[in-house]
Structure 1
Amino acid sequence: MPGLVNALVIAAVAAIVIARQFRARAIDTDRRWWLLPVILAAVALREPGVLDAHHRVESAALLAVELLIGLATGVGWGWTTRIWTAPDGVLWTKSTKASIAVWAVGLALRAGVFALGSALGLHQDSSALMLGLAGTLLVRGVILARRVRSADAVSPPAPAYGADEQPAWKERV
């Protein structure tokens, strides 16, 4: 049953994260963006089935490949996410079509790793997928945090007081 629970957790987290990232939203720099990846990694590592007991070397190699794919997906996602500054100085973010391509390639590579493991007769647990997702989210968060800091450093100065006010409507007589 833990495999089913892990699969449901992975699907729910991925759906929530992906849905949120493809909508424009203000970046909260005080948010603890690293908390969700740490929780996912802790949940994945608590399971004893991360490595196949009969094929430790092969399953460790597949786990390493899964983590590399997750990290690469996080890098690609972090760099393809659009960041801009609104006129009021608030930073906004939204994933792009290139981000969809990064996710599609990452999922295809993960499916290939799973198929390879199945062909080799390895027992594969959902914990490896959860660790890969945690790595993806963590690396993406690091890259976005760095990009936000650099965007903050080069953002234009705030407009003068009253510069953003709209002129009053003229009354018609």
Structure 2
Amino acid sequence: MSGLVNTLVIVAVAALVITRQFRARRIDTDRRWWLLPVILAVVALREPGVLDPHHHTASALLLAVELLIGLATGAGWAWTTRVWTETDGSVWSRSTKASGGVWIVGIALRVGLFALGALIGVHQDSSALMLGLAATLLVRSGVLIWRAQSVDGAAGPAPAYGFAMARPARKERV
């Protein structure tokens, strides 16, 4: 795939994932939560331009930092997501304002990393960004599934970091 197609895939996946996470969603611990990150990683690794052949060490270092940013963003996003149990025993989640802040910081760090690479003359392909997004989604999903499995229905909601609001009551339908 070309860099433009990779960029469009990255933007589409990120927009879809982010918008879906700010709505309350039931967590299904039995589904294949790892599948989308693995597909993104395979697509990214198929590209030959993951590392700059003229600046191999510098581009490998930038890629490693990109992956670390992705891992930290995923962990921060998962820990700032509110997780709770409904009366029927199902586990739900919804991202908070703090989750949005984690995304903003993660994007700013990635832009800064790209600017640093451009400043030192390292060609950075969109595959590195796609690998970072895959790491973000993998860690976020894994931590969220782990949190969902450890939620005790009798204990009530498991709040996200910084989340002090009471859970809104569900509306009954007539």
TM-score per shorter chain, which class?
0.7 to 0.9
Q: For the residues of structure 2 that align with 1:123 and 1:144, how far apart are their CA atoms?
A: 34
Structure 1 runs of 4+ off > 3 angstroms? none
1:87, CA displacement in angstroms?
1.5
1:49, CA displacement in angstroms?
0.2
1:100, CA displacement in angstroms?
0.3
Partner residue, 2:60: 60
Partner residue, 1:7: 7
**What residue ranges of structure 1 are gaps of 5+ in the alignment?**
158-173
Q: For the residues of structure 2 that align with 1:29 and 1:59, how far apart are their CA atoms?
A: 37
Q: How does 1:113-152 map to 2 (within 5 A)?
A: 113-151=113-151
Superposed CA deviations along residues 58-110 of structure 1, whole A, max 9, x for unmatched, are: 00000000000000000000100100111221111000000000000000000
Partner residue, 2:32: 32
* Alignment pair present for 1:92 and 2:95: no
Partner residue, 1:155: 153
Q: For the residues of structure 1 that align with 2:133 and 2:80, how far apart are their CA atoms?
A: 17
**What residue ranges of structure 2 are gaps of 5+ in the alignment?**
156-174
Q: For the residues of structure 2 that align with 1:49 and 1:36, how far apart are their CA atoms?
A: 21
Q: For the residues of structure 2 that align with 1:25 and 1:114, how far apart are their CA atoms?
A: 33
Q: For the residues of structure 2 that align with 1:135 and 1:81, how far apart are their CA atoms?
A: 17
Superposed CA deviations along residues 127-160 of structure 1, whole A, max 9, x for unmatched, are: 0000000000000111011101110xx2229xxx
Structure ID, larger Rg: 1
**Matched residue SS, 2:92:** strand
Partner residue, 1:102: 102
Partner residue, 1:166: none
Q: For the residues of structure 2 that align with 1:89 and 1:138, how far apart are their CA atoms?
A: 25
Q: Is the 8 A contact 2:86 2:153 kept in 1?
A: no
TM-score, length-normalised on structure 2? 0.87
TM-score, length-normalised on structure 1? 0.87
Q: For the residues of structure 2 that align with 1:25 and 1:117, how far apart are their CA atoms?
A: 38
Return the letter of the residue paired with 1:19.
T
Return the letter of the residue paired with 2:22.
F
Identity %: 72
**Matched residue SS, 2:93:** strand
Q: How does 1:156-171 map to 2 (within 5 A)?
A: 156=154
Q: For the residues of structure 1 that align with 2:115 and 2:19, how far apart are their CA atoms?
A: 27
